[in-house]
Structure 1
Amino acid sequence: MTTRRNFIKKTATGSVALSFSGLILPSMANANILGANDHINCAIIGVRSRAKAHVMAIHEQKNAKIIYSCDVDDTILEEHNLWCQENIGYIPKNEKDFRKVLEDKDVDAVFIATPEHWHAPMAIMALQAGKHVYVEKPCSHNPYENDLLVAAHKKYGKKVQMGNQQRSAKTSIMGVQDIRDGVIGEVYKGEAYYSNNRGSIGKGNEIAVPDTLDWDMWQGPAPRENYRDNIHPYNWHWFKTWGTGEVHNNGTHEIDLCRWALGVDLPESVTSFGGKYTFDDDWQFVDNQQVTYKYQDDKFITWTGHSRGKIIPNQ
């Protein structure tokens, strides 16, 4: 039986064939990745939400053009086409199967904004196909995939950038530099927060897969599950098969900024507590969480994530 771990491992070593789918992009403007026509031909895979930021960032680069919009859902593609026509003045070629995008030698770089279980496999396959990669955070579904993606980056020699946009923001760069210069003294602690009031996702009902959706391709390397009415297009974030919870959905940004400012790498220890305190639904992660990351030299970071809170009706 092909497990997710075996699938990713085979992909990283090249034994899986391609026939098997406020953003700032400094590295994607590098002259080393220009195509034959002195333009970077880009493909965006997964075009529902974050792709809009990708489109606008690419569109601002005079030497870049989007030649593919790729998504497994026809409804999302149609909406995106209308949005593209209105905002950038043209509609890229549509494709539902990302493998065909990777097979096109005119594509120089791919931008991946799919559900998280596809991030590392798709990025590795793109590198194998000779493409440069921009992959949204988190760059993997689990730590093991991180190592495989780094190995693939080194093997194929293409550029890879993960979507921690704070690293490219001028304001963040200036703030971190001030901290490094000692403007506020010696810094030993970073505090990161995220608060939201997400509602219940309910308890899903098994229904027929919509005709517009390629559910098999959507699941990709993940274990197969029957389609339910509370997964696609967004609530997959809260299921362990496909998502990583709020700590990676949003915490990734805040925690990384603290790591950057403190100049730390991997923690010596991690302590977490929390739970699912709100709704009786299919949500599989904690929805309120406190995490402490302990580093060398007595430095530490805390992340406080309040993803959901019950709405109390007026008395």
Structure 2
Amino acid sequence: MPIEDASDHSTVQPAKSHTDRRNFLCSTAAASTFAAMTVPSMVHSEEATKKQTINLGIVGCGGRGSGAINDSLSINEGIKLVAAADLYADKNERLKSTLTRRHPEKIALEENKMYTGLDGYKKVLEDPDVDVVLLTTSPGFRPYHILEAVEAGKHVFAEKPSCVDPAGYQICLKAHELAEKNGTSIVTGTQYRRQVNYVGAVDKIRSGMIGDIVSATSRYCSTGIWYKNRTEGMSDTEYQLNNWMHFIWLSGDQITEQAVHNIDTMNWVMGSAPISAYGSGGRFTRPDDSEMWDNMEIDYMYPGDRNLSFMCRQVPGTRGDNSNVIYGTEANCHIGAGSTGSRIVDRNGKELWSMKGSIADAYKQEHKDLIDAVRSNQPIVELKQTAESSLTAVMGRMAAYTGQLVSWDFASKESTLDLFPKELAWDGKRPAGEYAIPGKTKLV
């Protein structure tokens, strides 16, 4: 599957494969056919809770995937990795080699269960030995993989963001509803919701320590991001999959792929998605064929006339800032990214409360919660909240790209924006990168 730290794979070719949108969009009839061919999802869930060992499969074995599976293996006992899929065979082999050194007793990954190509993920989902699947490919595939995993009766860990367009959001809602019906879990990679200083800050805000929320600011500003050059022999599809960050159908741009962490935090603090988004931004340092912008500045309006001033930026040589400030009638709450910690100060600058937290612990906690939920047969299904945060990011991108005011109702109910290719062949052609221009790019 698409990988997080793609490198030059021109000498290692995956199995040729072809897929189209019909393989991802499963109608009720298709879902019924799939269920008839496999173990019913509820039965699969109940059987998993009785097993002494819970078996994991992973789809996407790059940097993000290897980090996620390592976190799960590090914090959980009684689990084994038994299946893996990636676009490239060497990614599977590298993952197996690294994890075998770190967790030799937890790796049972045989050669015949390491799959390649665009359709390799299907083999993991069809494997009756797999109880939990980790979905860590580039984000454009996420909603379709999640839905198919739920239909296959798997418990799911899905990295953020959960969608990059309104069409993917609707698929996530279907998957969330089906998982609740099936009794299977979906835990998402929004680790801040499990980081103690974030939880503590939200609890203090809820208890009234800062008074009523008036407004907020949030920034995810950093230097540049990686870019992968095209190598000889790469098709358009292979090149875009390897350089996925720079193509919006795969990444959703920085605001969706990266800054969604801060947006998710603010939706959590505010207690809902925003009502509208209005913003701007631009590009001046990206490579010529990149579709990404360098920066976006979005005003999100939340219920209660509460405004979030949001900014994200990736420009080399600039000052970084990754922080959230919530302004209340009585005090302000500062929530820093990473392991910076949280604090509340009154109008005179006196500290009223503070708490430290470890992002490394939070990364592991999300995987512990998932395995605990499987073992206790008490499913956690949190896809909807992450899908709402992902769509909030998408809504901001839509507003900036078009120069229009975009409402939540439009983005969540009316928009027909669907970025995923109607057909996708490994050796196929893809349109060249084209970046958005406000006033020219239309709101769809």
TM-score bracket relative to the smaller structure: 0.7 to 0.9
SS in 1 for 2:290: coil
**Per-residue deviation, 1:84:** 0.4
Of the three residues 125, 143, 148, the one matched with 1:125 is 148
Superposition RMSD in Å: 2.6
- Equivalent AA in structure 1 for residue 303 of structure 2: Q
Instruction: Say whether residues 1:250 and 2:284 are aligned partners.
Output: no
> Is there any run of 5+ residues in structure 2 with no aligned partner, and where?
1-18, 35-44, 319-444
Higher relative contact order (CA 8 A, sep 6+): 2
Instruction: Say whether residues 1:173 and 2:169 are aligned partners.
Output: no
Greater helix content:
2
The two structures have a TM-score, normalised by structure 1, of: 0.79
Contact 1:251 1:303 in 2 (8 A): no
Contact 2:245 2:251 in 1 (8 A): yes
Counterpart position of 2:270: 262
Counterpart position of 2:161: 138
The two structures have a TM-score, normalised by structure 2, of: 0.57
Give the Cα–Cα distance (whole angstroms) in 2 for the partners of residues 164 and 101 of structure 1: 24
Counterpart position of 1:149: 172
| Alpha-carbon distance change, 105 to 226 in structure 1, aligned in 2, over 3 angstroms | closer
**Per-residue deviation, 1:32:** 6.0
Give the Cα–Cα distance (whole angstroms) in 2 for the partners of residues 58 and 159 of structure 1: 15
**Per-residue deviation, 1:257:** 0.6
Give the Cα–Cα distance (whole angstroms) in 2 for the partners of residues 293 and 14 of structure 1: 39
- Equivalent AA in structure 2 for residue 290 of structure 1: E
**Per-residue deviation, 1:309:** 3.1
Contact 2:57 2:134 in 1 (8 A): yes
**Per-residue deviation, 1:205:** 4.6
Counterpart position of 2:304: 297
Give the Cα–Cα distance (whole angstroms) in 2 for the partners of residues 199 and 109 of structure 1: 31
**Per-residue deviation, 1:121:** 0.9
Give the Cα–Cα distance (whole angstroms) in 1 for the partners of residues 251 and 138 of structure 2: 7
Give the Cα–Cα distance (whole angstroms) in 1 for the partners of residues 203 and 176 of structure 2: 28
**Per-residue deviation, 1:153:** 3.0
Q: Quote the sequence identity (%).
A: 23
- Equivalent AA in structure 1 for residue 142 of structure 2: H
| Alpha-carbon distance change, 48 to 285 in structure 1, aligned in 2, over 3 angstroms | same
Counterpart position of 1:46: 60
SS in 1 for 2:251: coil
SS in 1 for 2:72: helix
Q: How many residues align?
A: 277
SS in 2 for 1:44: strand
SS in 2 for 1:303: strand
CA offsets 1:155-208 (integer angstroms, 9 cap, x no match) = 352222221111122221111111111222222223221122216748x55732
| Superposition map of 1:6-25 within 5 A | 8=24, 10-15=25-30
Of the three residues 99, 110, 134, the one matched with 1:84 is 99
Counterpart position of 2:314: 307
Runs of 4+ with deviation above 6 angstroms: none
Contact 1:190 1:262 in 2 (8 A): no
Moved more, 121-130 or 136-145: 136-145
| Alpha-carbon distance change, 54 to 188 in structure 1, aligned in 2, over 3 angstroms | same
Give the Cα–Cα distance (whole angstroms) in 2 for the partners of residues 298 and 32 of structure 1: 46
Give the Cα–Cα distance (whole angstroms) in 1 for the partners of residues 100 and 54 of structure 2: 20
| Alpha-carbon distance change, 53 to 206 in structure 1, aligned in 2, over 3 angstroms | closer
Contact 1:43 1:110 in 2 (8 A): yes
| Alpha-carbon distance change, 147 to 199 in structure 1, aligned in 2, over 3 angstroms | closer
Instruction: Say whether residues 1:108 and 2:108 are aligned partners.
Output: no
- Equivalent AA in structure 2 for residue 70 of structure 1: A
Moved more, 148-157 or 170-179: 148-157
- Equivalent AA in structure 1 for residue 144 of structure 2: P
Give the Cα–Cα distance (whole angstroms) in 2 for the partners of residues 295 and 116 of structure 1: 26
CA offsets 1:224-279 (integer angstroms, 9 cap, x no match) = x4443xx454x31120232211001111101111111122x222210110011224
SS in 2 for 1:207: coil
> Is there any run of 5+ residues in structure 1 with no aligned partner, and where?
19-30, 210-214, 216-224
| Alpha-carbon distance change, 81 to 175 in structure 1, aligned in 2, over 3 angstroms | same
| Alpha-carbon distance change, 300 to 13 in structure 1, aligned in 2, over 3 angstroms | farther
Give the Cα–Cα distance (whole angstroms) in 2 for the partners of residues 41 and 300 of structure 1: 45
**Per-residue deviation, 1:147:** 2.0
Counterpart position of 1:272: 279
Contact 1:137 1:163 in 2 (8 A): yes
**Per-residue deviation, 1:128:** 1.1
Contact 2:58 2:134 in 1 (8 A): yes
Counterpart position of 1:27: none
Contact 1:43 1:66 in 2 (8 A): yes
